[in-house]
Amino acid sequence: MTDRSADPTTDLGTDLAAVAAGLDAEDPLAGYRDRFLPADGVVAYLDGNSLGRPLRATAERMERFVRADWGTRLIRGWDEGWVDRPRSLGDRIGAAALGAAPGQVVVADSTTVLLYKLARAAVDHQAAAGRREIVVDTDNFPTDRYVLEGIAAERGAVLRWITTDPASGVTPEQVAAAVGPDTALVLLSHVAYRSGFLADAPAITRTAHDAGALVLWDLSHSVGSVPVRLDAWGADLAVGCGYKYLNGGPGAPAFGYLAARHTTTLRQPITGWFGHRAPFAMGPGHEPAPDVRALLSGTPPVLASVPLECGVELLEQAGIDAVRAKSVRLTGFALDLADTLLAPHGVTVASPRDPDRRGGHVTLRREDLAQVNARLWERGVIPDFRAPDGIRIGLAPLSTSFAEVLAGMTALAEEVAR
Q: Looking at the predicted structure, is the pLDDT value of residue 151 above 50? A: yes
Residue 329 designated active-site: no
3-state secondary structure (DSSP) of residue 372:
helix
**What average pLDDT does the segment 392-396 reach?**
98
Looking at residue 410, its amino acid is T
Give 128's contacts (C-beta < 8 A, 6+ positions apart).
none
Report which of 391, 276, 402 is spatially closest to residue 21, judged by C-alpha positions.
402
Predicted TM-score of the model (pTM): 0.95
**What average pLDDT does the segment 166-172 reach?**
87
**What average pLDDT does the segment 2-22 reach?**
67
Give the model's pLDDT for residue 1.
38
Give the model's pLDDT for residue 9.
44
Give how far the C-alpha of residue 212 lies from the chain's centroid of Cα atoms, to the nearest Å.
Answer: 26
Q: Looking at the predicted structure, is the pLDDT value of residue 33 above 80? A: yes
Give the model's pLDDT for residue 398.
98
**Residue 130: other Cβ atoms inside 10 A:** 9
The continuous run of DSSP H or E covering 186 comes out as strand 183-189
Q: Looking at the predicted structure, is the pLDDT value of residue 336 above 60? A: yes
Residue 53 designated active-site: no
Give the model's pLDDT for residue 165.
84
300 and 86 in contact (C-beta within 8 Å)?
A: yes
Catalytic residue among 87, 117, 131, 244: 244
Give the model's pLDDT for residue 168.
80
**What average pLDDT does the segment 321-345 reach?**
98
Residue 392 designated active-site: yes
Please write the tens of the pLDDT for every residue from 275-320: 999 999 999 999 999 999 999 999 999 999 999 999 999 999 999 9
Read off the pLDDT band of 52 (50, 70, 90).
very high
10 Å CB burial of residue 259 (0-12, 13-18, 19+) is buried
Catalytic residue among 36, 243, 257, 274: 243
How many Å apart are CA 38 and CA 357, to the nearest integer? Answer: 32
The continuous run of DSSP H or E covering 187 comes out as strand 183-189
Give the model's pLDDT for residue 166.
76
Q: Looking at the predicted structure, is the pLDDT value of residue 13 above 70? A: no
Please write the tens of the pLDDT for every residue from 192-242: 999 999 999 999 999 999 999 999 999 999 999 999 999 999 999 999 999
How many Å apart are CA 231 and CA 249, to the nearest integer? Answer: 28
Give the model's pLDDT for residue 343.
98
Q: Looking at the predicted structure, is the pLDDT value of residue 11 above 80? A: no
**What average pLDDT does the segment 161-171 reach?**
89
Higher pLDDT pick, 373 / 167: 373
Catalytic residue among 91, 218, 236, 384: 218
Residue 244 designated active-site: yes
Give the model's pLDDT for residue 12.
62
Q: Cα–Cα distances in Å, from 173 out to 159, 177, 217? A: 18, 6, 17
Provide the pairing of β-strand 214-218 with 183-189: parallel
Read off the pLDDT band of 6 (50, 70, 90).
very low
How many Å apart are CA 198 and CA 354, to the nearest integer? Answer: 10
Please write the tens of the pLDDT for every residue from 18-27: 999 999 999 9
Residue 67 designated active-site: no
How many Å apart are CA 262 and CA 310, to the nearest integer? Answer: 30
* Beta-strand runs (E) in 81-197: 105-108, 133-137, 158-162, 183-189
Catalytic residue among 116, 141, 255, 402: 141
Catalytic residue among 36, 257, 392, 402: 392
